[in-house]
Amino acid sequence: MTTRVLVAGDHFVRNDLFIDALRAEAPDGGLEFAEITLPWPVEPFGRVAEVDEASGTEDELIEALRGAEICVTQMAPLTRRILDASPGLRLFGVARGGPVNANLDAAADHGVAVCHAPGRNAGATAEHTLGLILAAVRRIPQTHADLRAGHWRGDHYRYDDVGVELDGATAGVVGCGAVGRRVARMLAALGARVLVHDPYLDDLGDLTGLAEPVPLDELLAQARIVTLHARATPETAGMIGAAQLAAMPPGSIIVNCARGSLLDYDAVCDAAESGHLFAAAFDVFPEEPVPAASRLLTVPNIVVTPHLAGASRQTAANAARIIARDVGRHLRGEPLVHRAGP
């Protein structure tokens, strides 16, 4: 007996990565594959019906899911309409940290399990975060652009223009999940004193002796470098605003590689223009792509990258493997490890 699987990859988590990982979980060849390739990231993701950050259309998925029991994807939408039209579907695997492109309540109503891939991009995002910290502290993007334009900015050697070293600095990590933990370890390895804030943190675990858990207001008051790694929830929306930025020491930097909703970006621009912040660095934004008129693109000492922190080959392979393992559990009748929703 074969199980039909729709592989709805894209140009990052490709179909061949999914299929290779799935074959490793089902070496007896009991899987029959159908494939579609979604246009992300060549075309930006967006809202599809009631779900966010999706690629493709409801009609495309409805047609492709005919006869499928399992779908593995990164960006395909799972809406109530798609579920209504796919009575044979039993498992929908979303190869990303959070299944925002799946209607979890509707899936539960239809008896469809949804799994996801937490931690898939933790290594890549942590490394990108460290790169942004160093880029912001040492003005690397700005001085690179100046030099290529023919300007030798030796004036940045003035005492008032130079940043701090990580060795001996106090750094604050807000959110201590898979990414935040890695960033904390990296900063500690570079000699920083590391403070962490996470209201759900019960045990430092591998950060014992490397980091100190503190309330958020204490972290902001002491850290010269603050990096955000909390999930986007109603509780974390706007958690860093003008008041929190004002509480940071003069000459601090703030970095966000998590979600744009965590931070008031206009307040950051104000603090950077006033000189209260030495610099800021962002990979995520409240609106993506960033509008051409955004202050983030013109205020000095703000480093920006286009939501690429998780973009590594290891991330794509990890995502496919994590989802394939839960597909294997589904096929064997075992509980899913990364099940989402009710």
Q: What is the pLDDT of residue 2?
A: 92
Task: Give residue limits of the domains in the chain.
Answer: 3-120+312-340, 122-304
For residue 168, the number of C-alpha atoms closer than 13 Å in the C-beta half-sphere is 3
Question: Which element (helix H / strand E) includes 89?
Answer: none
Helices 178-189 and 122-137 pack at an angle, to 10 degrees, of: 50
Q: Number of helices and strands (H, E) in the chain?
A: 11, 15
Helices 140-148 and 122-137 pack at an angle, to 10 degrees, of: 60
CATH topology of domain 3-120+312-340: Rossmann fold (3.40.50)
Q: What is the pLDDT of residue 27?
A: 83
Residues 6+ away with beta carbon under 8 Å from 258: 175, 179, 228, 229, 230, 231, 232, 284
Q: What is the pLDDT of residue 28?
A: 83
Per-residue pLDDT of the chain (342 residues), as tens digits, is 799 999 999 999 999 999 999 999 988 889 999 999 999 999 989 999 999 999 999 999 999 999 999 999 999 999 999 999 999 999 999 999 999 999 999 999 999 999 999 999 999 999 999 999 999 999 999 999 999 999 999 999 999 899 999 999 999 999 999 999 999 999 999 999 999 999 999 889 999 999 999 999 999 999 999 999 998 889 999 999 999 999 999 999 999 999 999 999 999 999 999 999 999 999 999 998 999 999 999 999 999 999 999 999 999 999 999 999 999 999 999 999 999 987
Q: What is the pLDDT of residue 341?
A: 83
Query: Amino acid identity of 115?
Result: C
Query: Do the Cβ atoms of 42 and 48 come closer than 8 Å?
Result: no
Query: Amino acid identity of 124?
Result: A
Cis status, amide bond into 289, omega within 30 of 0: yes
Other Cβ atoms less than 10 A from the Cβ of 84: the count is 12
How far CA 59 is from CA of 86, 97, 109, 125, 191, in Å, comes to 12, 25, 21, 33, 54
Q: What is the pLDDT of residue 232?
A: 87
Residues 6+ away with beta carbon under 8 Å from 268: 245, 254, 277, 280, 302
Buried b / exposed e across 133-143, counting CB within 10 Å, b at 16+? bebbbbbebbe
Query: Do the Cβ atoms of 73 and 45 come closer than 8 Å?
Result: no
Exposed/middle/buried for residue 257 (C-beta within 10 Å: 0-12, 13-18, 19+): buried
Catalytic residue numbers?
A: 259, 288, 307
For residue 90, the number of C-alpha atoms closer than 13 Å in the C-beta half-sphere is 13
Angle of CA points 8, 10, 12, to nearest 5°: 135
Query: Do the first three CATH levels of 3-120+312-340 and 122-304 match, i.e. the same topology?
Result: yes
β-strands 51-54, 46-48 pairing: antiparallel
The string of DSSP letters for 273-337 reads HHTSEEEEEES--SSSSPPTT-GGGTSTTEEE--S-TT-SHHHHHHHHHHHHHHHHHHHHTPPPS
The pair of structure tokens assigned to 36 is 């579609």
Other Cβ atoms less than 10 A from the Cβ of 46: the count is 12
Tokens 């933790």 identify what position? Answer: 122
Query: Do the Cβ atoms of 296 and 168 come closer than 8 Å?
Result: no
CATH architecture, domain 122-304? 3-Layer(aba) Sandwich (3.40)
